[in-house]
Amino acid sequence: MYLASEKATFSAVAETVSILLFAIPYIDTCQINNIIPKRLNPFKHAFRPILQLAGDKLLQEKKAVGDVMTEGEKLATFCEGHEIQNSWGSFWLFSYDLNLNVPAEQDINVLEVFLQAVRGIGPVREKKFRAFGIQTLWDLAKKSPDGLVREDAQRVCEALEIRDWALLLERFPKFKVLSAVPREKLAVIDIETSGFTPALPIFLVGVLTFEPNPKKRIFLARHPVEEPAMLKEAVSVIADKACVITYNGASFDLPMLEKRCNRLDVPFQKPFNVDLLPIVRKLIGQEVPDCKLKTIERIVLQYERYNDPASSEVPEIYQRFFLEQNPDILQDVIDHNKKDLTSLVEIWSYLDERDRHGDFTGRF
């Protein structure tokens, strides 16, 4: 049986090895200080010789096939999309116009019945207010005998009037607010990474917008050196959005984006997020075996993916692409991301339609 300290040591060594295995294609030994988290510093020097040997071997392999990145060298070119240059460098952009069924925008006044948007009001107190004839936030702002409740209700009503989406998304059920946000103020995002730690690059960001018609853009860093330019352009697309729609984005996509942008000094203001995963769990979780995206696609959207790479396979696929710069290697990953974006809109549409039919009454 391991002692607690031995378990911690084993866990730290395992994490260090994992990071290095993913990092070897992207770094040299002088960068080891940047990729190993500070808490693993005691193990850093022990792995420097291993990294050196692996890096030397990789460099020899790349030289043998002419894949060393040199000034002026061209990276992979795809049959779709085109290369983009900005002040941060270059990257590849795919762009697609879509024909999607997007939920119709609802009147923002549908939110006025949610008395619990006011601080200090829970289910019991809401029931008492309704018994006294207070049915809307406007009633609460005028008639509440509690001065603090009345003052906060006035603030929420003002937010409804001026469309303060930040406050509305904080106070109301996010899915309900989503139905009232102007479509040009929304975006759907999904990222693909070269590893499951912020020490390693994000190589692809998919963004779907609705301005005025649905449009899907795939921002691709063909080489880790293109990541800053790619991220700069991708986050600029969502910079003015009221919120972004994700699936598990609260736990993965947005924290990874924020941390990578911080590491690379790319300006990034974390947007408000409507994560569909917890919403799916809450609204239809009892109707499906699990809430994995592929399960929801199969049962709810009645769509089955084939030849679709698992998330755990994506980093290895990108490493192969990075080494060979063969566009065909990455095509399944690009298609995977494109389908993820479309599926999120279709799931949103499915939930929105059921909500309008009253299927989720009392579940928010």
The answer on pLDDT for 51 being more than 80 is no
Task: Output the furthest CA–CA distance in the chain (Å, rounded).
Answer: 81
When pLDDT is averaged across residues 231-249 and rounded to a whole number, the result is 96
Q: In what order do the strands lie in the sheet with 82-86?
A: 82-86, 89-97, 214-220, 202-210, 186-193, 243-246, 273-275
Tally the domains of the chain: 3
pLDDT score of 4 more than 70 = no
CA 231, distance to chain mean position in Å, is 13
Contact 152, 120 (CB under 8 A): yes
Q: Does 112 lie in the same domain as 243?
A: no
Q: CB count, 10 Å around CB of 355?
A: 19
Residue 11 and residue 130 in one domain? no
pLDDT of 253 strictly over 60:
yes
Q: Considering only 5-9, 115-119, 288-292, 344-348, which range has the smallest mean pLDDT?
A: 5-9
Task: Please give the Cα distance from 313 to 317 (Å, whole number).
Answer: 6
pLDDT exceeds 80 at position 150: yes
Lowest-confidence region among 14-18, 101-105, 200-204: 14-18
Which of 194, 190, 224, 237 lies closest to 342 in space, CA to CA?
190
Closest of 17, 11, 27 to residue 200, by C-alpha: 27
Domain that residue 168 falls in: 108-179
Mean pLDDT, residues 298-319 taken together: 92
Q: Is the pLDDT of residue 22 over 60?
A: no
Same domain for 346 and 208: yes
Burial class (CB in 10 A: 0-12, 13-18, 19+), 329: middle
Predicted local distance difference test score (pLDDT) of residue 20? 54
Same domain, 223 and 268: yes
Query: What was the pLDDT predicted at 328?
Result: 96
Do 169 and 188 lie in one domain? The reply is: no
Report the distance separating Cα 250 and Cα 210, nearest Å.
22
> 144 with 39, same domain?
no
Res. 1 pLDDT band, cuts 50 70 90: very low
Take residue 140 and report the two structure tokens written for it. Answer: 């609460």
Are 327 and 248 contained in the same domain? yes
Using the predicted structure, report yes or no on whether residue 53 has a pLDDT greater than 70.
no
pLDDT of residue 196: 85
Proportion of the chain above pLDDT 70, given as a percent: 80
- Pair 327, 313 in one domain: yes
Tell me what pLDDT residue 70 has. Answer: 53
Question: Is residue 66 pLDDT above 60, yes or no?
Answer: no
The average pLDDT across 100-127 equals 94
Residue 363 domain flag: no
Q: What is the pTM of this model?
A: 0.81
Closest CA to 362 of 18, 104, 126: 126
Cis amide linkage into residue 212, ω under 30° from 0: yes
Report DSSP state, residue 248.
S
